[in-house]
Amino acid sequence: MLWDWSFAISIIPTLWEGVKITILATLLGSVVAAVAGLAIALLRRSTSLLVCKPVAFLAEFFRGTPLLVQLYVLFYVLPDIGITLSPLVAGVIGLGVHYATYTAEVYRAGIDNVARGQWEAAKAVNLTASQTWTRIILPQAVPPMIPALANYFIAMFKETPLLSAITILELMNQARSIANFNYRYIEPMTMVGVFFLVISLISVFGLRWLERRYGRVGS
Amino acid sequence: MTAHAAVPPIIEVDRVSKSFGDFKVLDELSFSVAPAEKLALIGPSGSGKTTILRILMTLESIDSGHIRIEGEELYHMEKGGRLVPADEAHLHRMRAKIGMVFQLFNLFPHMCVLDNVTLAPVLTKGVAKEAAKRRAMELLDMVGLADKAKAMPAQLSGGQKQRVAIARALALEPRIMLFDEVTSALDPELVEEVLAVMHRLARETDMTMLLVTHEMGFAHDFADRVMFFDRGRIVEQGPPSEIFTNPREERTQGFLRKIIAAGHRI
């Protein structure tokens, strides 16, 4: 028989270790993407050309180059100039910053969608710029963009196998080493697919819930 | 109460010009407002009256000229004996003297009515939360909405929203209140409840009030002085009895005729 059940079951604990790393990298990467994306979106709104132009250029650069290349640079090239990152740190930064350039666009659209009158009312009640952002604009801008952000986090999750390129023992890397060691590919690779599918389906289910919860705002 | 020479004006607009692109909205405009005066600005749309309120609230900048609030420059500040453009800290300090109510209410939709009213006093004036809440309840009571304190803005009618917006502006105790076409977006049957609140304010407070309106009847009853604007200039001004019943200028007469023909009462 092509499929060996006892072999499949025996590799579950090792694959599970990989699943944990995959989920950890996705969660940390999502946090970086959420925070850095907001920073990019805010800096791009700066009235100072010295701030907004370089940030816009860097964002385009990170979005326009492959994530795999960025991961190689972070992990294999940076040590040449004295910056050595652990694989997970390099991976989280790579995933997070790459996806931040996408989430920044989500933030930009969300912020633009807040009515101009809200800015004016904030000024009329004499809020400072930072109070206006934290109390008036972001609380209205963020809820409608949560489904779009979550969508990117799910996309990021499915790109985590790239982290195997910089020695992170995430799910794909674990499966590959099992396969290489045992010369059996069908069970490990099938199970990687199943793991990703199950977690993606759960995430999509969660996303639908978020859309229902935050889809309508301002009403 | 018209401007007395003896009382220094609370607002001085001094040769202020403002253009949007090629369109000159305000052209060397000068006028002053006495403390506690109720001033109504009327005129055709595009005549610059709303722009004046927006400039006083620092929502628009000016191209040239000076504005003084209680004798202090709004858009300029002294630095090394010279007048320089005001920085954000100066604008922030000056804004505390002025409140504004908008045509489209601009309530904060993610906060309940009470939070809309208490947010700014707590954040900008350091008022204690409890004291701000008590004051907000008094103000909501005054505008007849004490029972809506926990409601969200989306649950209110237009007239109720506008009354909350008035309470929100009053909570900061401004010396000057600006009302920008505050009844224009309301269904006709809701106009009266907002005007009643404003009448009460005019009677019971010594706030200086500037009002841009198309409600000529209200301007007549409310204002100490009416200014008729056209093309960024004051065409004519005087007590409402004079402007509405006996306007001297042809353009004022023409405007009032059109307004009456459009069904507005005086």
Q: In this model, does residue A194 exceed pLDDT 50?
A: yes
Q: Domain locations in chain A?
A: 22-168
Is A218 in the B-facing interface, judged by CB distances under 8 Å? yes
Torsion B182-A116-B48-B168 (CA) sign: positive
In the structure encoding, which two tokens stand for residue A98, read together?
């790459």
Measured CA to CA, the distance from residue B212 to residue B51 in angstroms comes to 10
Which residues from B are below 8 Å from A121, CB to CB?
102, 106-108
Confidence of residue A219 (pLDDT cuts 50, 70, 90): very low
In the structure encoding, which two tokens stand for residue A41, read together?
């979106």
Confidence of residue A218 (pLDDT cuts 50, 70, 90): very low
Cβ separation of B124 and A127 shorter than 8 Å? Answer: yes
Cβ separation of B108 and A117 shorter than 8 Å? Answer: no
**Nearest CB to B106: which of A118, A129, A135?**
A118
Measured CA to CA, the distance from residue A74 to residue A161 in angstroms comes to 16
Cβ separation of A218 and B109 shorter than 8 Å? Answer: yes
Which residues from B are below 8 Å from A219, CB to CB?
109, 154
Residue B16 burial (CB count, 10 A): 24
Closest approach of A129 to chain B, Cα-based (Å):
10
Cβ separation of A125 and B169 shorter than 8 Å? Answer: yes
Residue position matching structure tokens 């599970």 = A16
Is A121 in the B-facing interface, judged by CB distances under 8 Å? yes
**Nearest CB to B96: which of A126, A140, A219?**
A126
Measured CA to CA, the distance from residue B2 to residue B130 in angstroms comes to 39
Measured CA to CA, the distance from residue B125 to residue A38 in angstroms comes to 29
**Mapping DSSP to helix (H, G, I), strand (E, B) and coil, where does residue B112 land?**
coil
pLDDT, residue B181, reads: 93
SS3 content of chain B, % helix, strand, coil (to 5): 40, 25, 35
Q: pLDDT truncated to tens, each residue of chain B (266 aa)? A: 455 557 899 999 999 999 999 999 999 999 999 999 999 999 998 888 999 999 999 999 999 999 999 999 999 998 888 989 999 999 999 999 999 999 999 999 999 999 999 999 999 999 999 999 999 999 999 999 999 999 999 999 999 999 999 999 999 999 999 999 999 999 988 899 999 999 999 888 899 999 999 889 899 999 999 999 998 899 999 999 999 999 999 999 999 988 878 766 55
Cβ separation of B104 and A124 shorter than 8 Å? Answer: no
Q: In this model, does residue A217 exceed pLDDT 50?
A: no
> How many A/B residue pairs have CB atoms within 8 Å?
61
> Chain A window 129-168: which residues touch B at a Cβ cutoff of 8 Å?
129, 131, 135-136, 139-140
- What pLDDT digit, counting tens, does each position of A143-193 carry? 889 889 999 999 999 999 999 999 898 899 999 999 999 999 999 999 999
- Strand positions, DSSP E, B70-207: 72-73, 76-79, 82-85, 98-101, 176-180
Give yes or no for a contact between B13 and B250, defined as CB atoms under 8 angstroms apart: no
Q: Which CATH class is domain A22-168?
A: mainly alpha
pLDDT, residue B266, reads: 57
- What pLDDT digit, counting tens, does each position of B141-152 carry? 999 999 999 999
What is the average pLDDT value for chain A, to the nearest integer? 92
Is B124 in the A-facing interface, judged by CB distances under 8 Å? yes
- What pLDDT digit, counting tens, does each position of A7-48 carry? 999 999 999 999 999 999 999 999 999 999 999 999 999 888
- Strand positions, DSSP E, B71-140: 72-73, 76-79, 82-85, 98-101
pLDDT, residue B5, reads: 57
Closest approach of B248 to chain A, Cα-based (Å):
36
Cβ separation of B92 and A126 shorter than 8 Å? Answer: yes
pLDDT, residue A29, reads: 96
